A and B are shown apart, each in its own frame.
Chain A
Amino acid sequence: MKKTIAFAALAATLLSGTAFAQEKTIKIGNLSDQSGLYADATGGGSTIAAKLAVEDSGLLAKGWKIEVVAGDHQNKADIGTNIARQWYDVDKVDLIVDTPNSGVALAVSTLTKEKNKVFLNSGAATSDLSGKACSPNTIHWTYDTYALANGTGKAIVKNGGDSWFFLTADYAFGHALERDTGAVVEANGGKVVGKVRHPINSPDFSSYLLQAQASKAKVVGLANAGGDTTNSIKQAAEFGITAGGQKLAALLLFITDVHALGLSVAQGLTFTEAFYWDMNDGTRAFADRFSKQKPGFKPTMVQAGVYSAVRHYLKAADALGSVSDGAKVVAKMKEMPTDDALFGQGSIRADGRKLHPVYLFEVKKPSESKGAWDYYKLMGTIPADQAFRPMDKGDCPLVSAAK
């Protein structure tokens, strides 16, 4: 009898112990393109960034158990949603981060709301994530199509590039980027003379470039990303687009793309990003730690964004003591000001848009660069309150509900 009681007591202790541990457990899922055209800019590097954020949070010392897992959505919305569903339902994942590819991101955002978990998107670009598809469970962290369009589009139109032809990746992201940039161009007195929509992952752009050339537009806007952008830029040089007087506007360019192109091809490109590893001591220290785990690479803005987002999530988790209610965690995150070494101080708007300054960069000439990864010249800073779409223009239902 005594034994039974002792056993029961032990079991009870164990049970309560598990219950306690469950309370203080967080599982982070990095749902990303791990093997395709966005893998270098996002993918495994984002997993590293998330792990660094966990290390820096100090939550492990406070008794939290935090785990980071990774999945490959292969740029397919159905695969992405299946992994997310499996993670939420079976593997007890509390939040999903990164998720490049706007098509996948929109699907995962919807699912996250349904399951009342948290989705911190750093990789996808579509401004719809904080616009008409906004959700109380989603925060769009690093950049969006509006910020890119607003930064690059405005700068180029002001410099005389007032007629545009778009090369657009034919899915949610490309359409959003083309739409937002077109709006900025027109608002600043320019016009859009034509566009062509190419399938994602095209090996050859010569046909589209020829159409762009024939359009006589002053600017050829590349509303695509990753390997599609690098191939467009490389082949534009080959076909004498820039030599013929047309200007190339890479609307979304990651530092890994510049590295892949080489400075002799990429030099002079103007583009918008929210982060550059060589901005200040904080970003350089982060880049060093990152490179130790991913030799030969520096972090992109997406990977930096994953770090920043996870840091802020963990602060909210610490303040709340539990992450079981996703919407509550996101509400707490919106309430608290953001602050980290990579993006500085910032905030999160009611529509789920994270605010911080974004920067206009130009790719250095080979003679200006001191070596690998020394690629960007800062041309201008767009303050946080002007960088992103005004909240009342986004048609986010959360905002109108708050009114």
Chain B
Amino acid sequence: MSILVYTENWDGKFKKTSFELVSYATKLAEILNTTATVLSIGQVDPVELEKLGKYGAKKVINATNENFKILDNQVYTNAIAEVADKEGAEVIILSNNNTGKALAPRLSVKLKAGIGSGVSKLPISTKPFIVYKKAYSGNAFATIQIKSEKKILTLAQNSFEPIATSSAIDIENLSLQIDGSVIKTKVLEVKKQTGKVLLTDAEVVVSGGRGMKSPDNWSPLVEFAELLGAATACSRPVSDEGWRPNEEHTGQTGKIIAPNLYIAIGISGATQHLAGISSSKYIVAINTDKDAPIFEAANYGIVGDALKVLPELISAVKEIKS
């Protein structure tokens, strides 16, 4: 019984997340001694689809229909379920991003497939099928056995490195029939940030807290982030005060991110903030208080005044770049 992996596209383009999924699925297929098929929904060019082959995909189903323009959870769920049935998939893999979280649970009920959500590595064992994921907001890990015949996995972002191989990919175009009347979701307005690095995609994040003292002090932080190609983030009090936009708030009730590098400047490290960043590969903290809890979570730290340290860091990065 094969594996079906759903790769989302953004305006017809794939992102690192998509390739992580393909590599993961390919690896899992090897372990289970089966094949992995990729499912793409919506308008994507063949050139883009072929990129999936670079990460091990052998076959991709390019499902299209007018009505896929809007993400209606029921419509997409039904489409994935239909393809899964057709392909005889036993394991379905999605990303644990917003879309994955919206679709995977519905699929689970539709297909009576148990879910391992937010898994961070390949299953620990396949008979019984046991997966590994974060629990207690990052304070622990849990191993969960999926008992049902069909299984769904959602992969935590930035937890599996895409493995580049080359493989010839077979594109199967599938035009699905969807009755327009089943679409219940209507889009009224879309607001998109343009240009800046997205927080959830970023590999490096530079984040500021109340220790920055005032919104006027943010320009060195932004400059530092730009030099590193990083996204900017902030702690909850900073977003509550309106110093930074709400979208930048990382923490338990904000965004939970897992970049390669998270630099926390003037952030004390309260539990809720740590819950949002604990999966970061490396954490750096800059704070005037040597007893700040953030240092217990950090790999590297500087006990000092951010406003004095930042200019030095900026010139150090500029030096390396030149």
- Asked if chains A and B come from one complex, the reply is no
- Residue numbers of B with Cβ under 8 A of A are none
